[in-house]
Structure 1
Amino acid sequence: MLKPDRRIRKSRNAIKMAVIDLMIEKKFDQITIQDISDKADVSRRTIYLHYMDKFDLLDKLIEEHIEELRELCDLAGNDSHYMDAVLLWFDYFESHYLFFSAILESKGGHFFHNRFLEFFLQELKKNENEIPEDSSRGLTDGEDVDIQFLGGAIVGVMEWWFRNGKPYPPSFMAQRLGSLLERNLDVDYT
């Protein structure tokens, strides 16, 4: 896949940073395309060349972070323990704290919550489906409920961590949340 032209990348980055800065200043619903245009020092037309509207922009920002997290998880491999995965997640969240805290403080939190819940559910299901290839077994009735519960818990803890100014380091979060995941996902339902 070809990288976009340097001018396009520069415009997109300016637009992304502008919307993040604006979310720190005011609620997402109050942000206009003109606000983004002024802050990014680009024309409204430039924004509309890249995004349908501010919701599309926010959606693409969230999707970029999810894709980066997914790539990190894939690079780590399926042999890693839950604590390793959680450490990877929280290290990533810490390095992108400005974006995540801004989106949670703004009305973009709803978009964030739903998209990240979907991501964590997929990651948990992927780990639960690590069964021998000759087996046709999928998730049991109990496992799907557990995964839904734990996915919601992960997102809730993550949101709490951001809203409270990262009260614990990623290593602490990995130890606590990782041990809870291991304890709750290693239950045999047969």
Structure 2
Amino acid sequence: MKDRRIRKSQEAIKAAVIELMMDKSFDQITIQDISDRADVSRRTVYLHYMDKFDLVDKLIEEHINRLRELCDIAGHDAEYTDMGLLWFEYLEKHHLFFSAMLASRGNSFFRNRFLDFFLQELKNMVKGKEIHERSITGLTEDDDVETQFVGAAIVGVVEWWFKNGKPHPPSLMAQRMGTLLERNLKADTPKA
């Protein structure tokens, strides 16, 4: 029973900070604001988190780890469109968190972590496709410039999607993303 109460408190605290970030900048949010919104004591917040930075860091890590697990389950040799669908469905399901993080004025920390996730997944996907298809792609594990370009493009598209109120469903976003990834990650001719 105690575990259920702890989980309930933690979920209320997480939801509170996300809701608050939709209303004001992260710098303006206090532990008192979080505890009031979560309907828990400040002591309870501090029991689970060192400060608001620790809370947000754990939230970010939780979502990045879940995304990584989903990618691992799908397999890194999955089609780009399938992987894009997985990403956009997850993003839509947790839209409050991602909207808050991407809209926040202090979002550079989150954006960098989010970009790092996509960079690693792109490298894993390319490596998985090379092994699975025994083909040579236009992007190798050592092509940092191309990986950075494609990763930043994905983050930019996700930001655009949220800032514009998710104008297209995840399936269409995945299809378009898959086409762009396929076009940018495959070379017309093999490298020598």
- Normalising by structure 1, report the TM-score: 0.89
| Match of residue 13, structure 1, among 11, 14, 17 | 11
Q: Mapping of 1:108-187 within 5 angstroms?
A: 108-130=106-128, 131-132=130-131, 139=140, 141=142, 143-187=143-187
Runs of 4 or more consecutive aligned structure 1 residues displaced over 6 Å after TM superposition = none
Q: Mapping of 1:54-69 within 5 angstroms?
A: 54-69=52-67
Q: Give the secondary structure class of the aligned counterpart of 1:166.
A: coil
2:40 aligned with 1:38: no
- Residue 140 of structure 1: CA displacement? 5.9
Number of aligned pairs? 184
- Normalising by structure 2, report the TM-score: 0.88
Where does residue 189 of structure 1 map in the other structure? 191
Q: Give the secondary structure class of the aligned counterpart of 1:5.
A: helix
Q: Percent identity?
A: 68
Q: Give the secondary structure class of the aligned counterpart of 1:121.
A: helix
Q: Give the secondary structure class of the aligned counterpart of 1:42.
A: coil
C-alpha distance in 2, partners of 1:87/1:116?
Answer: 17
Where does residue 98 of structure 1 map in the other structure? 96
C-alpha distance in 2, partners of 1:185/1:6?
Answer: 45
What amino acid maps onto 2:81 in structure 1? M
Q: Give the secondary structure class of the aligned counterpart of 1:80.
A: coil
RMSD in angstroms over aligned alpha carbons?
2.2
Q: Give the secondary structure class of the aligned counterpart of 2:76.
A: coil
What amino acid maps onto 2:28 in structure 1? Q
Gaps of 5+ in 1: none
Q: 2:78 touches 2:125 (CA, 8 Å); kept in 1?
A: no
Larger displacement relative to structure 2 (43-52 or 25-34): 43-52
Q: 1:59 touches 1:111 (CA, 8 Å); kept in 2?
A: no
- Residue 79 of structure 1: CA displacement? 3.0
C-alpha distance in 2, partners of 1:77/1:99?
Answer: 25
Where does residue 26 of structure 1 map in the other structure? 24
Where does residue 74 of structure 1 map in the other structure? 72
What amino acid maps onto 2:6 in structure 1? I
- Residue 7 of structure 1: CA displacement? 1.6
Where does residue 46 of structure 2 map in the other structure? 48
Deviation track 1:17-45 (CA, whole Å, cap 9, x = no partner) reads 11111112111111001100111111212
Q: 1:103 touches 1:109 (CA, 8 Å); kept in 2?
A: yes
- Residue 78 of structure 1: CA displacement? 2.4
Deviation track 1:84-105 (CA, whole Å, cap 9, x = no partner) reads 1011101111111111112222
C-alpha distance in 1, partners of 2:76/2:24?
Answer: 40
Q: 1:73 touches 1:85 (CA, 8 Å); kept in 2?
A: yes
Shift in CA distance, 98/132, structure 1 to aligned 2, threshold 3 Å: closer
Deviation track 1:140-160 (CA, whole Å, cap 9, x = no partner) reads 65x322111100100011011
Q: 2:126 touches 2:141 (CA, 8 Å); kept in 1?
A: no
